[in-house]
């Protein structure tokens, strides 16, 4: 039991006697998990599309955190802001994928290491 106690979410889940309530901490846990997954994926993978998906993951993690904060503090600025974020993300995804296609055509490769032109 003790190893789980560092997380309030897991601690709550581990206590079967309590009426389980979804708290802010749960949402933030999911957001952090998604964000870390994104960071790790971005740093470890070489495929441009995968790396791009990882950035999307981080993006959405931030979105979840914003909505959660907005909901729990009854402050709807955060939630409305996310609508903009999602819109921008959609546009940006279209652009980025197009760029990836162009980059692929130039080098016949999706590896990020094929592009090192900005080396100092």
Partner 1 sequence: MTTTTDILTLAAAGGIEPGAGLTMLVPVLTLLGTLLCGLCAAFKVKSKLPAWLSVACLAGSFVAIAATYADLGHQQRLAHGFEWINFSYTGTDGQPVTFKANFAFYIDSLTLLWMLFVTGLATLIALYASEYMSHDQGTGYCRFFAAFNLFVFSMACLVMGDNLLLLYLGWEGVGLCSYLLIGYFYTRPSAVAAAKKAFIMNRIGDLGLALGIMLTFVHFGSVEYAVIFEKARPYIDALKAGHLDEIPLVASFIPILLMIGAFGKSAQLPLYVWLPDAMEGPTPVSALIHAATMVTAGVYLIARTYPLFLLSDVALPIVGWVGASTALLAATIGMAQFDIKRIMAYSTVSQLGYMFAGLAVLSPVGGASHVFTHAFFKAMLFLSCGAVMHGFAGQLDLRKLSGLFRMPGWKVVSVAMLVGCLNLAGFPLITAGYWSKDIILAEAFVNMPGVGWVLLITAGLTAYYTFRVFFRVFMGPTHYEPGDEVHGHDAHGHGDAHGHDHGHAHHDDPHGHGPAVTATAHDPHAGHDFHPHAPGWAINTVLAVLALASFAIVPLMLTGEHHGWAGGMVEHSSAAYHTVGTSGYLEAAHGHGPHDHGHTHGHDHDHDHGQAHGTFLGMDPHKVMYYVSGVVGLLGIAAAFWLHLAGRTSAASSRADALVPAMGPLAGWARGKWFVDEFYDALIVKPLWVISHIFHVIDTLIVDGLVNLVGWVPRALGGVLRPSQSGQLHGYAAGMAGGLALLLIIVLWVTLR
SS3 label, residue 16 = coil
| C-beta closer to partner 1: residue 51 or 82 | 51
CB of 120 to partner 1, least distance (A): 3
CB of 56 to partner 1, least distance (A): 15
Q: Please, where are the H alpha helices in the chain? A: 8-14, 24-44, 48-72, 77-107
Evaluate whether 113 touches 120 at the Cβ level (below 8 Å). no
Residue ranges that bind partner 1, judged by CB under 8 A: 39, 42-43, 46, 51, 112-113, 115-120
| C-beta closer to partner 1: residue 51 or 65 | 51
């Amino acid at each position: 039991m003790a190893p789980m106690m560092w997380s309030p979410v897991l601690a709550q889940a581990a206590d079967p006697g309590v009426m389980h309530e979804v708290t802010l901490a749960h949402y933030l846990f999911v957001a952090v998990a998604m964000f870390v997954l994104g960071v790790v994926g971005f740093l470890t993978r070489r495929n441009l599309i995968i790396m791009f998906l990882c950035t999307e993951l981080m993006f959405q993690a931030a979105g979840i955190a914003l909505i959660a904060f907005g909901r729990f503090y009854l402050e709807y600025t955060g939630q409305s802001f996310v609508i903009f974020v999602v819109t921008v993300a959609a546009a940006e995804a279209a652009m980025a994928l197009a760029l990836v296609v162009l980059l692929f055509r130039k080098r016949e490769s999706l590896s990020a290491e094929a592009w090192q032109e900005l080396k100092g």
